[in-house]
Chain A
Amino acid sequence: MVDLKTKTPCAGLVPVRVGPLSLVEDAPGHMTALAPYLGQDAALSEALKAAHGMAAPGVGRMSGKRGARALWFGQRMILLMGPAPDAGLAEFAALSDQSDGWAVLHLEGRGAGDVLAHMTPLDLRPTQFKRGHSARSECAHMPASITRLGDEAFQIMVFRSMAATLVHELKTAMGRVVALQ
């Protein structure tokens, strides 16, 4: 068997540091989309708790902690990030492997929210979009998932094929925000 070299979606593109802002890649390991069968939402949440330690996130939320997270990922869709999915989950949901399909970036530092405000129509004010809140929206015209990880820290995800464009757009916006600080 050919031994292929693993390359992350943002290899060679990050880290990017501008003033107090930093953009780094997160390699979350396995990523699996869970689509609960009709009427199985509660059972799936119980199974997630038993197998991976977190309940299913509510609409627009993230559950779990670093290393094993579950992200609300759209209508009747949850993204399990970190662990390989427990086989028992398949009883309650359709599972599809998304590992390597998404670029996962962390934007951190003073002004991180201002950077994103250049790129997405989401209302990211801290009173509206709090730590653990997650949304599907667009980011620089690309379909994205955006999650607040802290006061000045966000996770941004786009399809792997768009990683270079996203990094380019973020880098430009980071420069503009820092120039005004």
Chain B
Amino acid sequence: MRLPCPICGERDRREFTYSGAAVALERPGAEAGSEAWDDYLHNRDNPAGVTRDLWYHEQGCAAWIVMTRNTATHEVLGAALASEARRAGSTS
């Protein structure tokens, strides 16, 4: 499996560490309420299809990356730096 890094280009999967759904970037405000915090901390979808998750290019440039990929076909549809996805104000 090869994954695209926005900085380094296409690299072998073993250089990356997987870190779960990109939902982690959408931290609710302190006043968002217990339901929003419950979703943020605990509830995850398990899609058969397109999903967005966080990968760390640990054995590479050390960037956090939002990877969009299809769990059914293994197709990788896109990759963006997590820092920029967050700066843009939305990760969806």
Contact A75 B61, beta carbon cutoff 8 Å: yes
- Is A114 positioned at the interface, with any CB of B under 8 Å from its CB? no
Cβ contact of A75, chosen from B11, B12, B15, B63, cutoff 8 A: B63
- A74, A77, A137, A143: the one within 8 Å of B11 (CB): A137
Distance in angstroms from A83 CB to nearest chain B CB is 25
> Restricting to A125-181, which residues have a CB under 8 Å from any CB of B?
135-138, 143
Q: Is residue A121 contacting chain B, with contact meaning CB distance below 8 A?
A: yes
- Residue contact A75 to B59, C-beta cutoff 8 Å: no
By size class, the interface of chain A is 10 to 19
Report A166 CB to chain B, min CB distance, Å.
14
A59 lies within 8 A of chain B by Cβ: yes
Choose from B8, B15, B63 the contact partner of A138 (Cβ within 8 Å).
B15
- A138 and B7 contacting across the interface, CB-CB below 8 Å: no
CB atoms of B59 and A143 under 8 A apart: yes
Cβ 8 A contact of B62, one of A59, A74, A135: A74
Using Cβ atoms and an 8 Å threshold, which residues of chain A touch B12? Answer: 121-122
Within the complex, what minimum Cβ distance (angstroms) separates A8 from chain B? Answer: 25
User: Are A135 and B59 touching (Cβ within 8 A)?
Assistant: no
Which residues B56-92 have CB closer than 8 A to chain A? 57, 59-63
On whether the beta carbons of B7 and A121 are closer than 8 Å, the reply is no
Give the dominant DSSP class at B's interface.
Answer: loop
What residues on B are CB-neighbors of A143 within 8 Å? 59
- For the complex formed, measure the closest distance between the CB of A75 and the CB atoms of chain B, giving whole angstroms: 4
CA–CA, A72 to B29, complex, Å? 37
B14 within 8 A of A: yes
Contact with A along B36-73 (1 / 0, CB 8 A): 00000000000000000000010111110000000000
Q: Which residues of B contact A136 (CB under 8 A)?
A: 8, 59-62
A144 nearest CB across to chain B (Å): 8
CA distance A143 to B14 in the complex (A): 12
* Chain B residue at smallest Cβ distance from A121: B12
- Tell whether A60 is near chain B: CB-to-CB under 8 Å: yes
Distance between B92 CB and nearest chain A CB, rounded to angstroms: 24
* CB closest residue in chain A, given B10: A123
A121 and B15 contacting across the interface, CB-CB below 8 Å = yes
**Chain B residues with CB below 8 A from A138, complex form:** 14-15, 59
Closest residue on chain B to residue A59 by CB atoms: B7
The chain A residues found within 8 Å of chain B, CB to CB, are 59-60, 74-75, 77, 121-122, 135-138, 143
Can you list 8 pairs linking A and B with CB atoms under 8 Å apart? A59-B7, A60-B8, A74-B62, A77-B62, A121-B12, A135-B8, A136-B8, A137-B60
- B-side residues, CB < 8 A to A, are 7-9, 11-12, 14-15, 57, 59-63
